[in-house]
């Protein structure tokens, strides 16, 4: 793979690059960032769970604040990593004089969008959707689908839903086919798992890019188009299985860093993790021989926590950037496929942070109770609407339910000739795109638990 091709400023799906007479005020990748910010799917992240579902406190992170912070970390990580590459390769620095800025902007835009396809109720939302499609209730609706289409649904993946949001335009909205019209470079960096849901075991080698999948069957041709434009190396040409865009490693690292440390911080602030346990562990990772943390007399441990977290992230960003530069040759040749974060000097301590977070935060009673409810809510919505969609008699209740679906998610009008798989995926788009509160409210309404309030 080559950097000039990997940094393609062409916009999906058209391969024409529009020339400008002068340097633009906003580069192509900054425009990508702005397009994500102004999208409705990104805006809905403000009411989607990061860790604590339906939080009652304003300092707990949502998907929106997590995405914004990950984008900030990603920008620094991308610029610093590229600066290392430029310092090590004078020819590359001459060939791509803006490499550091471009990499920072690409990684930042991809980080900003990295959770845009995640459903309500946190990571359990993905499990809830998958569990429904694995249930006996869903079986009749899947009878006409291919094995690959069934795998998409029974192993629902927020990353694939995100790629669909970024590249898909609903027929009811317009005749366009660009989604958000992002550059190929940003789409490539966004795709941490460049593979379909169903891949032959013989093609798998157990790398970091293989843990999940990155696109549904409906977007398979689109991703292969992106891969061809960027010159991504195929792992298995017959199944559309590719090596990652190099900057996807930095997107993954920024996300890993933020959710591990900042989720831990949330657990401390919520009182689910004891300060006397959490603070010493973070200080150990910071390893501050100059004693700057101890040189200040802190009157509020929360302020001390914020200071330690900020300095720790800065330290780890610098280390990750150096690691990326070291591995760049093998990443470009497709011979490296590991998570950079696992090579950090404090990896053992980060694992301990994760262990404590799992036991005391992710498995805390409030989280488990609301996540468990999420299974009923999302599964209940999918079942009710799918029964209506595939109701051959189109009874009164089915017609009423279908009218509750926004037009773009109905297989009618502009979308009258879609397959059973596409009908199901349209509904899944609707349910996965809802906020926590919206999903809960609609579920209560259609089940007759709670009537909607007047306008």
Q: Is the bond preceding residue 13 a cis peptide, omega within 30 degrees?
A: yes
Residue 241 belongs to what H/E stretch? strand 241-242
Average pLDDT score over residue span 261-283 = 91
Report the candidate in 453, 452, 434 with the shortest Cα–Cα distance to residue 380. Answer: 434
Closest CA to 341 of 354, 356, 330, 329: 354
The 10s digit of each residue's pLDDT in 49-83 is: 777 665 555 567 788 989 999 999 999 999 999 99
Q: How much of the chain, in percent, has pLDDT values that exceed 90?
A: 65
pLDDT digits (tens, 9 = 90+) for 116-168: 999 998 778 999 999 999 999 999 999 999 999 999 999 999 999 999 999 99
Helix intervals (H) in 2-137: 3-6, 28-37, 40-43, 63-88, 90-95, 99-113, 123-134
SS3 234: strand
Q: Which secondary-structure segment (H or E) carries 242?
A: strand 241-242
Q: What whole-number distance in Å separates Cα of residue 252 and Cα of residue 448?
A: 42
Given a contact cutoff of 8 angstroms between Cβ atoms, the answer to whether 52 and 217 are in contact is no
Instruction: Tell whether the model's pLDDT for residue 37 goes beyond 90.
Output: yes
Q: Can you tell me the distance from the alpha carbon of 249 to that of 209, in angstroms, rounded to the nearest whole number? A: 9
Q: Rounded to whole angstroms, how far apart are CA atoms 47 and 438?
A: 9
Return d(Cα 368, Cα 59) in angstroms, integer.
20
Which residue in the block uniquely carries the two structure tokens 């157990």? Answer: 206
Query: Using an 8 Å Cβ cutoff, are 198 and 217 in contact?
Result: no
CA gap 215, 236 in Å, rounded = 16
Average pLDDT score over residue span 177-184: 88
Residue with tokens 């990295």: 114
Among 363, 413, 402, 391, smallest CA distance to 123 is for 363
What's the pLDDT score for residue 21? Answer: 44
The answer to whether residues 59 and 134 touch, using CB atoms and an 8 Å cutoff, is: no
- Which pLDDT score, from 0 to 100, does residue 59 have? 62
Instruction: Please determine, for residue 319, whether its predicted confidence score (pLDDT) is greater than 60.
Output: yes
CB neighbour list of residue 149: distance below 8 Å, 6 or more residues apart:
217, 421
User: What's the chain's Rg over C-alpha atoms?
Assistant: 23
Spatial distance between the Cα atoms of 71 and 104, rounded to a whole number of angstroms: 9
Q: What is the pLDDT of residues 79-100, one digit of tens each?
A: 999 999 999 999 999 999 999 9
Sign of CA dihedral 188, 189, 194, 196: negative
* Mean pLDDT on 271-294: 83
d(CA 79, CA 82): 5
* Tokens 């300095």 sit on residue: 311
Q: Specify the pTM.
A: 0.92
């Amino acid at each position: 793979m080559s950097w000039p091709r990997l940094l393609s400023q062409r916009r999906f799906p058209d391969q024409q690059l529009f020339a400008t007479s002068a340097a633009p005020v906003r580069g192509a990748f900054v425009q990508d960032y702005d397009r994500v910010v102004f999208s409705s799917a990104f805006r809905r992240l403000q009411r989607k769970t990061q860790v604590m579902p339906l939080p009652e406190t304003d300092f707990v992170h949502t998907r929106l604040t997590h995405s914004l912070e990950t984008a900030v970390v990603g920008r620094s990580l991308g610029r610093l990593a590229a600066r290392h590459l430029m310092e090590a390769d004078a020819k590359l620095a001459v060939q791509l004089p803006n490499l550091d800025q471009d990499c920072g902007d690409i990684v930042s835009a991809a980080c900003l969008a990295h959770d845009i396809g995640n459903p309500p109720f946190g990571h359990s939302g993905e499990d809830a959707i998958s569990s429904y499609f694995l249930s006996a209730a869903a079986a009749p609706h899947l009878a006409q689908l291919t094995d690959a289409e069934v795998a998409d649904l029974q192993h629902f993946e927020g990353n694939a839903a995100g790629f669909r949001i970024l590249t898909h335009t609903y027929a009811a909205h317009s005749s366009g086919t660009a989604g958000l019209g992002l550059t190929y470079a940003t789409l490539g960096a966004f795709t941490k798992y460049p593979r379909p849901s169903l891949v032959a075991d013989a093609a798998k080698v157990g790398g970091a890019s293989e843990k999940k999948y990155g696109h549904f069957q409906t977007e398979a041709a689109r991703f292969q188009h992106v891969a061809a434009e960027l010159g991504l190396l195929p792992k298995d040409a017959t199944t559309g299985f590719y090596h990652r865009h190099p900057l996807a490693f930095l997107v993954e690292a920024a996300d890993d860093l933020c959710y591990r440390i900042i989720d831990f911080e949330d657990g401390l602030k919520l009182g689910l993790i004891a300060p006397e346990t959490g603070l010493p562990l973070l200080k150990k990772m910071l390893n501050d021989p100059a004693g700057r943390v101890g040189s200040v007399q802190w009157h509020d441990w929360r302020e001390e926590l914020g200071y330690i977290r900020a300095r720790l992230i800065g330290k780890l960003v610098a280390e990750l950037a150096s690691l990326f530069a070291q591995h760049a040759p093998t990443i470009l040749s497709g011979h490296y496929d590991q998570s950079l974060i696992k090579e950090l000097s404090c990896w053992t301590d980060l694992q301990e942070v994760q262990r404590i977070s799992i036991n005391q935060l992710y498995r805390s009673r409030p989280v488990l109770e609301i996540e468990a409810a999420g299974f009923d809510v999302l599964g209940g919505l999918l079942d009710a609407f799918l029964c209506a969609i595939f109701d051959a008699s189109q009874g009164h209740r089915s017609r009423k339910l279908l009218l509750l679906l926004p037009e773009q998610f109905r297989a009618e009008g502009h979308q009258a000739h879609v397959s059973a798989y596409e009908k199901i995926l349209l509904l899944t788009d609707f349910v996965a795109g809802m906020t926590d509160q919206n999903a809960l409210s609609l579920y209560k309404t259609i089940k007759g638990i709670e009537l909607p309030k007047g306008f």
